[in-house]
A and B are shown apart, each in its own frame.
Chain A
């Protein structure tokens, strides 16, 4: 009976998480930051590992993959959920390999030599039972959770290396990572921030009020003025929703224009993104949201098409630097970081 209770409790939690994901659509701007989503996903996965019934690593991976598919289907635009699932799958593979014998760890790295000589992927079915696997996996997930909690701080600690005094920094919309980054630098240096408001939701307004409360000289500019003021900007620092495998970004709409303007003036574009935003796959369907109260087009709405995309694709050539919790990287290095985070077989959940 206690097993059944645990199961129903677990499935209840999963259901409530799924419904929350569905609700926090991209419509009204994210109701919760992606860091929070990542933490909640990981905590839920830990609970699944602890409470679900499984006897070997293969079963556990099946369960997690199944739940992961459901979670990503609930809200495809929130990619952190899928990323966390893949991280946990990789953790399981590593712990399994460690339990079997440490030589397996070397096999994880793909190399041309290995591909030629091994003759196909390893015969591992993950069917062997290990007594301490559960405890090890849960411990590793706990480490992952600690890492997630420290990401914003790790990024903000690097702020002083990139911002000097009397700079003019431009940003767009609202990113909690960039906010923490700028506030950390403002404790020691004086600089000026221009925030593009990012219509139609104008999250830039919130960012500007929050920054100005820390005595940072902030200016709010409408999206149309981005190129006009870019010649006086020294650096562009933005956050993003997802970092793609080629080093490109899927960021809030208006970011591509900002990146093009920065490229035209040879202004460096710095992206502050923690590692959990790195995503090997994103869904193709463009995400649209509502223009509703911004534009009162009621009389002619029936004869007009209106578009309001939520995200923009920014190609890697326009980006200068990625700042993540493990340090600074060029966009050309992102593919390598991703191969360390996720196993190639997990790219497709």
Chain B
């Protein structure tokens, strides 16, 4: 029952819930002991256990709202501050004027990374986690696959350096050690869906370590688990997806891609190696301009490329035969969460009757549901939008102007009717089959 609870729980749940669970789980073993002595206490005990069980069930079924979308709630902020203080993780403050529609989200500045507030040498947080957090907050590591792989490698390092303190069990203590790390990382940059799934997997593996297992053996086993997770879910999955996707690429195709998706780039490079004749149009958008990186990789391979900005989409779409998009996460109601601008591309492609194919590994599927890009999103540094044209920087002092706001969204959701096909490592499915896949995965586990 404890494992079951740990699986269902959202990994961002505050320690209070953990404490409650621990409190709840501790009296449970002692219950049978108290029930035997008095008969008149039995009815009371049964009633108490019923209430207790239903309360536990309630905790299991109702998911907690993640903290990073409750910024406008002062009570939630206070709870977070207390939790971070207890874990000795620095609290990051918001920056700049926030557009009122997004007052429930954090908005950080890249110039104040949370690592500045950590003492050197870091005592509570492992140095590889500190380095990882800095890489996230500065945007050095970006893209959901890259972030997950970096996270897993950092956790491997943590496990290698971990030593069980006396009178503690590795399966419980290591999980507790990981909590402040995860809080710190989510302060640097909110966790992605793929990172969330990876963390859930690791916590499950750690708690599954039997107590009689020796420490060296346990650590070795955990590192093997992490390696096999990366291998199966990311590397082999991308091989499988490439194989399916290459069936969909025919000679003479003009393929449109958006931004830099490691998976889509991999597919195109594989298809080129298999002697398919096609050319690629890379669409890019401000302020991230990630398409330049994709362009560089494709040109290095020798693929013929064209480069446009997203505002030129209607101009270039009549030439396009297919659109390949990457995804950050696939939500349970069939919506595709991806880099901002993806939904726009899908919309205009639909208007021009161009098929849209989304490529996504199954480890990015998540149980959340969302219908618009407002309730759960990420706000990037607003200063990124400032640009100098013809020697003039119009938005230079936007902070001084009271009624001016800059909005730098990171993600948006694409409705399933714009997407024609989702290519996953389990095969080619329509968008609406995502909950089926999730259910199959849960049954497997």
- Contacts A200-B309, A286-B315, A309-B315 known; A224 to B286 CB distance under 8 Å? yes
Of A201, A209, A261, A295, the residue contacting B401 (CB under 8 A) is A209
In the complex the two chains form, what is the Cα distance from A197 to B385 in whole Å? 9
Q: Are B372 and A227 in contact (CB under 8 A)?
A: no
Whether the Cβ atoms of B344 and A307 lie closer than 8 Å is no
Residues of chain A lying within 8 A (CB to CB) of residue B292:
295, 297
Which has the most chain B C-beta neighbours within 10 Å: A225, A232, A300? Answer: A225
A228 interface neighbour in B311, B348, B402, B412, Cβ under 8 Å? B412
Whether A219 pairs with B309 at a CB distance below 8 angstroms is no
Q: Which residues of B contact A300 (CB under 8 A)?
A: 295-296, 299
Chain A minimum-CB-distance residue to B341: A224
In the complex, how many angstroms separate the beta carbon of B259 from the nearest chain A beta carbon?
Answer: 9
**Most chain A CB neighbours (cut-off 10 Å) among B295, B296, B312, B339:** B312
Q: Are A225 and B341 in contact (CB under 8 A)?
A: yes
Q: Counting CB contacts under 8 A, is A51 at the interface?
A: no
Distance from A154 Cβ to chain B, minimum over Cβ atoms (Å):
27
List CB contacts (< 8 Å) of B379-420 with chain A.
385, 387, 389-390, 394-395, 398, 401-409, 412
B307 vs chain A, min Cβ distance (A): 5
Q: Are the CB atoms of A260 and B395 closer together than 8 Å?
A: no
Residues on B with C-beta less than 8 A from A257 are 310-311, 313-314, 344, 347-348
How many Å lie between the Cα of A217 and that of B314 in the bound state? 30
Residue B46 is within 8 A (CB to CB) of chain A in the complex: no
Q: Does B306 contact A (CB under 8 A)?
A: yes
User: Which chain A residues border B343 with CB–CB below 8 Å?
Assistant: 227-228
- Beta-carbon contact of B347 and A261 below 8 Å: yes
Which residues 302-334 in B have Cβ within 8 Å of A in the complex?
A: 305-316
CA A299 – CA B292 in complex, angstroms? 11
B287 — which chain A residues lie within 8 A by C-beta? 222
Q: Decide if A253 touches B312 in the complex (CB within 8 Å).
A: yes
Quick one: closest B residue to A313, CB to CB?
B314
Most buried by A among B287, B308, B347, B394: B394
Interface residue? B373 (CB, 8 A): yes
Interface bits B104-120 vs A (CB < 8 Å: 1, else 0): 00000000000000000
Let me know if B404 and A225 touch, CB within 8 A. no
Given the known interface contacts A205-B395, A260-B347, A261-B347, the answer about A295 and B307 at a Cβ–Cβ threshold of 8 Å is yes
Q: Are A199 and B309 in contact (CB under 8 A)?
A: yes
Residues in A274-311 with C-beta less than 8 Å from chain B: 286, 291, 293-295, 297, 299-300, 303-309
Bound complex: CA A281 to CA B401 (Å): 43
A309 touches B312 (CB 8 A): yes
Chain B residues near A73 (CB-CB < 8 A)? none
User: Please, which residues of chain A bring their CB within 8 A of the CB of B412?
Assistant: 225, 227-228
Contacts of A201 in B (CB 8 A): 389
Residue in contact with A224 in the complex, picked from B295, B340, B402, CB distance below 8 Å: B340
Interface secondary structure of B, over-half rule: mixed
When A209-B404, A219-B99 are in contact, do A306 and B314 touch as well, CB less than 8 Å?
no
B40 to chain A, nearest CB (A): 61
Cβ contact within 8 Å between B310 and A224: yes
* Chain B residues with CB below 8 A from A253, complex form: 311-312, 314-315
| Residues of B in contact with A, size category | 35 or more
Q: Tell me the bound Cα distance from A300 to B306 in angstroms.
A: 11
Task: Identify which of B284, B314, B347 gathers the most chain A CB atoms within 10 Å of its CB.
Answer: B314
Q: With A261-B347, A300-B299 as given contacts, are A221 and B407 in contact (CB-CB < 8 Å)?
A: yes
| A194, closest chain B residue (CB) | B407
Whether A307 and B316, one on each chain, are in contact in the complex, defined by CB atoms closer than 8 angstroms, is yes
* CB atoms of B389 and A202 under 8 A apart: yes
Closest beta carbon of chain B to A240's beta carbon, Å: 15
Q: Contact between A228 and B387 (Cβ–Cβ < 8 Å)? A: no
Residues of A within 8 A of B312 (CB): 253, 307-309
Q: How far is the CA of A231 from the CA of B408 in the complex (A)?
A: 17
A200 to chain B, nearest CB (A): 6
B289 at the interface (CB under 8 A from A): yes
Q: Which chain A positions have C-beta within 8 A of B374?
A: 229, 231-232
Shortest distance from the beta carbon of B356 to any chain A beta carbon, whole Å: 14
**Best-buried of B289, B292, B306, B373 by chain A (most CB within 10 Å):** B373
Contact flag A220-B311 (CB < 8 Å), given A208-B395, A227-B347: no
Q: Is B179 an interface residue (CB 8 A)?
A: no
Could you tell me if A260 and B351 are in contact, using CB atoms closer than 8 angstroms?
yes
CB-contacts of A306-330 with B (<8 A)? 306-309, 312-313
- Interface membership of A343, Cβ < 8 A: no
Q: A215 CA to B401 CA in the complex, in Å?
A: 9
Contact with B along A166-204 (1 / 0, CB 8 A): 000000000000000000000000000010011111100
Which residues of chain B from 400 to 445 have a CB within 8 Å of any chain A CB? 401-409, 412
B residues lining the A interface (CB < 8 Å): 99, 101, 284-287, 289, 292, 295-296, 299, 305-316, 339-341, 343-344, 347-348, 351, 372-374, 385, 387, 389-390, 394-395, 398, 401-409, 412
| 9 closest residue pairs by CB, A with B | A224-B341, A254-B311, A256-B314, A228-B412, A224-B285, A212-B404, A205-B394, A228-B373, A227-B344
17 other A-B residue contacts (CB within 8 Å) besides A218-B403, A305-B306:
A201-B389, A215-B403, A217-B405, A219-B406, A219-B407, A224-B339, A226-B344, A228-B409, A228-B412, A229-B373, A229-B374, A253-B315, A256-B348, A300-B296, A304-B295, A305-B305, A306-B307
Give A residues with C-beta under 8 Å from B: 28, 194, 197-202, 205-206, 208-209, 212-213, 215-229, 231-232, 253-254, 256-257, 260-261, 264, 286, 291, 293-295, 297, 299-300, 303-309, 312-313
Question: Can you offer 18 A-B residue contacts whose CB atoms are under 8 A?
Answer: A197-B385, A205-B395, A208-B395, A220-B385, A223-B311, A224-B340, A225-B407, A229-B101, A229-B373, A232-B374, A257-B344, A257-B348, A260-B351, A295-B292, A297-B292, A304-B295, A304-B299, A313-B314
